[in-house]
């Protein structure tokens, strides 16, 4: 596709970086008008966005290094070189989510905000921003799918794309677009649910369950290196199952609080 949109001298604008930035902007602009209903001031809001961004960047890169370690090179020097050579690509979403959640929980508690209500507010913007990011993946050629004979299969021909060289020109599942579409659907469902009365934590639960199911299924169609499999599951599928289990535990606790009044 178009891993680099244009060059100006030695500067090049990477499509993935641009779409990721647009995703954060879209999520923030969606959430910003709703601040008055939450009691969160603008400074705190932008701090939350910044913490989410840094946590996502660090966590997603760290998990990528962990799951891709065997593929990064034969020697430690080669692995380090490949890690630091290009920070535009090579991220695993679940790693970013885990680190961001930890950092955000710490900050939310520090500011003495209601944890679940704040999470419900923030989480609606996540799938919207993530959809932009997956379009960036599509343009860059990362996170590509397995070969397919389906009529909607896509081919990548740019040698600078991140598709494996042997798969250039081969029809592949557009897994990036599958996930972009799934995230947009999830965003609209969460947006609709957030407009109604709901118990604290319910929007968060719906997101975690919805994304975990979607990611678990899409992983079967991914053609890039997925890390070492555990009981036939990729690391992302294992994390998706763990996240879904955590969401069910939280759902049980939310229901228990409701029953107790």
Q: What phi and psi, each to the nearest 5 degrees, are found at residue 109?
A: -70, -35
**134 annotated to a ligand binding site:** yes
Task: Output b/e per residue, 177-195; b: 16+ Cβ within 10 A.
Answer: bbbbebbbebbebbeeebe
H or E segment to which residue 211 belongs: helix 202-219
* Residue partners of 102: CB distance under 8 A and separation at least 6: 55
Residue with tokens 């294992």: 238
Task: Note whether 144 and 163 are within 8 A (CB).
Answer: yes
Rounded to whole angstroms, the Cα distance separating 187 from 203 reads: 11
Rounded to whole angstroms, the Cα distance separating 35 from 52 reads: 17
In terms of C-beta density within 10 A (0-12 exposed, 13-18 middle, 19 or more buried), how is residue 207 classed?
Answer: buried
Which tokens in the block code for residue 218? 């899409």
Rounded to whole angstroms, the Cα distance separating 207 from 116 reads: 13
Sign of CA dihedral 66, 70, 76, 78: negative
Bind-site residues: 134
């Amino acid at each position: 596709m178009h891993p680099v949109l244009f060059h100006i001298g030695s500067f090049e604008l990477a499509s993935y970086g641009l779409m990721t930035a647009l995703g954060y902007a879209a999520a923030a602009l969606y959430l910003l008008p709703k601040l008055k209903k939450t009691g969160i001031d603008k400074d705190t809001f932008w701090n939350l966005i910044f913490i989410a961004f840094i946590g996502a960047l660090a966590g997603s890169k760290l998990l990528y290094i962990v799951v891709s370690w065997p593929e990064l090179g034969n020697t430690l020097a080669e692995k380090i070189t490949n890690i630091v050579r290009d920070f535009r690509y090579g991220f695993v979403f679940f790693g970013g989510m885990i680190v961001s959640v930890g950092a955000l929980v710490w900050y939310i508690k520090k500011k003495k905000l209601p944890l679940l209500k704040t999470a419900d507010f923030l989480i609606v913007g996540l799938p919207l921003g993530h959809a932009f990011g997956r379009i960036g993946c599509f343009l860059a050629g990362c996170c590509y799918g397995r070969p397919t004979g389906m009529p909607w299969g896509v081919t990548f021909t740019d040698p600078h794309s991140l598709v494996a060289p042997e798969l250039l020109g081969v029809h592949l599942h557009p897994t990036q677009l599958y996930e972009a579409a799934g995230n947009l659907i999830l965003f609209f469902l969460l947006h609709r649910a957030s407009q109604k009365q709901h118990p604290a934590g319910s929007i968060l639960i719906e997101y975690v369950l919805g994304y975990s199911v979607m990611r678990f299924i899409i992983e079967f169609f991914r053609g890039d290196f997925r890390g070492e499999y555990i009981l036939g599951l990729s690391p992302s599928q294992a994390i998706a199952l763990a996240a879904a289990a955590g969401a069910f535990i939280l759902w049980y606790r939310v229901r228990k609080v409701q029953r107790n009044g």
